[in-house]
Structure 1
């Protein structure tokens, strides 16, 4: 049995792989697929935005301009959507990557999930019960 050694997320090519693979999973997911497919008809512009977002978030590369929450505020998203989003995102990272930047990508995704959920459901008695606690950066 051959095992492929995992590496850390190191550059834009790794980000593109992560984003492309993640959204391939999202599109066929029974819970998330319908939400995304109802709103995104031309995937390439969305993927390009996500490349720039994660490149800025993980490596400080300028190029992303936008308000990620604004695009999600009106979507019919419940706790299970965020939980599945995190599960798929973590699995995508864990399949290929490990290291400080991979961990940072997971940490930032978790913060986004909690923040977006909290803002969408502000004042409502709901919780992201299955999401792990957010860890502080080392």
Structure 2
């Protein structure tokens, strides 16, 4: 039986499971592997990010967009990211917080893609 995302332990499971999928994905895995040498600090930062995004717990510091802006990303990358994120949530969670996590991920992906496209002249694929 699925439960909702209720606490920090759930966030750790979500982040770890999601990024395990990301690392083995043939489209977005290489993008992450090109910029992340040590996954542990990234995962720790993502625990804090999602804890802040879902539960309002202070602790996340950073500018997520600034880390993504220089990468060669297009719509297909963000679409895959969302598919993997939704799939991970759906494996274990259902409820209001699970739905909120999906919605926040969708809004973030849309905002990042729009900002990247606007910075690069409105094209679908970023030219670096």
Q: Compute the displacement of 1:124 (Å).
A: 1.1
TM-score, normalised via structure 1 length:
0.87
Structure 1 unmatched ranges of 5 or more: 128-138
Q: Identify, as 1 or 2, the structure richer in helix.
A: 2
Do residues 32 (structure 1) and 28 (structure 2) align? yes
Distance 1:125 1:36 in 2: 22
**What TM-score comes out, normalization by structure 2 length?**
0.94
Could you tell me which runs of 5 or more consecutive residues in structure 2 were left unpaired when the two chains were aligned. Answer: none
The C-alpha deviation readout for 1:45-79, integer Å capped at 9, x for no partner, is 00000000000000000000111100000000011
Of 5, 15, 29, 1:19 maps to 15
**1:136 aligned partner:** none
RMSD: 1.1
Aligned ranges 1:12-91 → 2 under 5 Å: 12-91=8-87
Q: How many residue pairs get matched?
A: 123
Q: Distance in 1 between matches of 2:114 and 2:86?
A: 20
Q: CA deviation at 1:126?
A: 3.8
Alpha-carbon distance in 2 for matches of 1:55, 1:33: 24
Give distance in 2, aligned partners of 1:124 and 1:53.
28
Hey, what's the Cα distance between the residues in 1 that align with 2:123 and 2:43?
33
Post-superposition, which runs of at least 4 consecutive aligned residues in structure 1 deviate over 6 A?
none
Residue in 2 that maps onto 1:133: none
2:122 maps to what in 1? 124
